[in-house]
């Protein structure tokens, strides 16, 4: 499953667009100025168009699923994608729909709440009656959902080591690039830049890598990032490669959460006596002067990431001297 943006020839998807808005000249009012996304899963299954309405408001102008593919969660996945993609740029997500038993309950299940009504919208703007579920639509019902923004402290405090199942949705290469850029932006001892990264999103390569990870972990992750290190001395006999890649990993874990994904730092599992990391490195063609020390699965979590029990702040952090709370 993949969601991608359509930047040209949007009218190619007109039959799908007309499922949600059946008058073409009404679609024309927002199609070109809006951003369009389609969901592919062995063919195009659904589409969504969103527009910037100003003052931090993003509106879903059109969302539709192929009739043969309805009831499989594709519409919900598109809404989840829009929330993840735009939560840092907008305060509120809005959608307008007729007062229909086919649409209102769906949006409410997705977390939207009724906000306001545009009286006679359908009768005033369409050249024919709009009928849905046997009822003529008259008013436009607008529903809204607040988009949660997280600052860096929020991200740090909510990051978890996720060991559950992942959803099938692919991770766009653009997101993998952002995650790796965050990793490479980390500090390194004497700027020796001993850390390198390989992102894997090819299904066949992922399958081969997961086959050598025994016992299995992160089997359902749609992508992973492998962390490589070079044991280069910073000065004299001092090497900070471990500190370098640790800083890079933490940066990436935070970027992963920021982008709406989950992950886990797998290092000990692959650097033990069974040398799983070396087997992974061999599959990836890693030169012998690099060591594969960690991998981070990347994907949308199927379940909630649970917080482990932490010791109280006062047992581990103090002021001015050891054990002093003030």
322 Cβ contact partners less than 8 Å away, ≥ 6 residues apart: none
Does the structure show a pLDDT above 90 at 158?
Answer: no
What does the alpha-carbon distance between residue 47 and residue 13 come to, in Å, rounded to a whole number? Answer: 8
pLDDT at 260: 86
Would you give the DSSP letter of residue 100? -
| pLDDT 10s digits, 180-236 | 999 999 999 999 999 999 999 999 999 999 999 999 999 999 999 999 999 999 999
3-state secondary structure 252-310: HHHHHHHCCCEECCECCCCCCCCCHHHHHHHHCCCCCCCEEEEEEEEECECCCCCCCCC
Averaged pLDDT for residues 133-149? 90
Distance of CA 142 to the CA centre of its chain: 26
pLDDT digits (tens, 9 = 90+) for 293-320: 999 999 999 888 888 999 999 999 999 9
């Amino acid at each position: 499953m993949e969601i991608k943006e359509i930047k040209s020839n949007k009218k190619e998807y007109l039959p799908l667009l007309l499922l949600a808005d059946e008058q073409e000249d009404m679609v024309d009012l927002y199609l070109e100025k809006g951003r369009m996304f389609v969901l592919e899963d062995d063919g195009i299954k659904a589409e969504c168009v969103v527009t910037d309405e100003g003052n931090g408001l993003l509106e879903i102008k059109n969302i539709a699923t192929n009739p043969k593919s309805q009831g499989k969660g594709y519409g919900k996945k598109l809404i989840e994608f829009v929330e993840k993609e735009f939560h840092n740029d907008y305060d509120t997500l809005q959608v307008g729909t007729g007062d229909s038993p086919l649409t209102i309950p769906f949006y409410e299940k997705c977390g939207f709440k009724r906000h306001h009504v545009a009286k006679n919208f359908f009768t005033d703007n369409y050249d024919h009656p709009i009928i849905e579920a046997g009822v003529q639509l008259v008013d436009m019902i607008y529903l809204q959902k607040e988009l949660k923004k997280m600052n860096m402290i929020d991200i740090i405090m909510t990051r978890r080591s996720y060991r559950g199942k992942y959803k099938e949705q692919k991770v766009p290469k653009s997101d993998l690039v952002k995650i790796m850029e965050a990793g490479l932006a980390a500090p390194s001892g004497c700027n020796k830049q001993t850390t390198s990264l390989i992102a894997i999103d090819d299904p066949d390569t992922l399958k081969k890598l997961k086959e050598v990870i025994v016992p299995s972990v992160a089997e359902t992750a749609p992508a992973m990032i492998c962390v490589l290190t070079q044991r280069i001395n910073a000065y004299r006999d001092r090497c900070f490669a471990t500190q370098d890649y640790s800083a890079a990993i933490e940066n990436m874990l935070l970027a992963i959460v920021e982008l709406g994904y989950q992950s886990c730092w797998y290092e000990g599992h692959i650097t033990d006596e069974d040398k799983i990391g070396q087997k992974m490195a061999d599959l990836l063609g890693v030169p012998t002067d690099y060591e594969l020390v960690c991998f981070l699965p990347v994907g949308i979590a199927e379940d909630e990431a649970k917080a482990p029990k932490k010791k109280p702040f006062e047992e581990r952090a103090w002021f001015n001297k050891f054990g002093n709370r003030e």
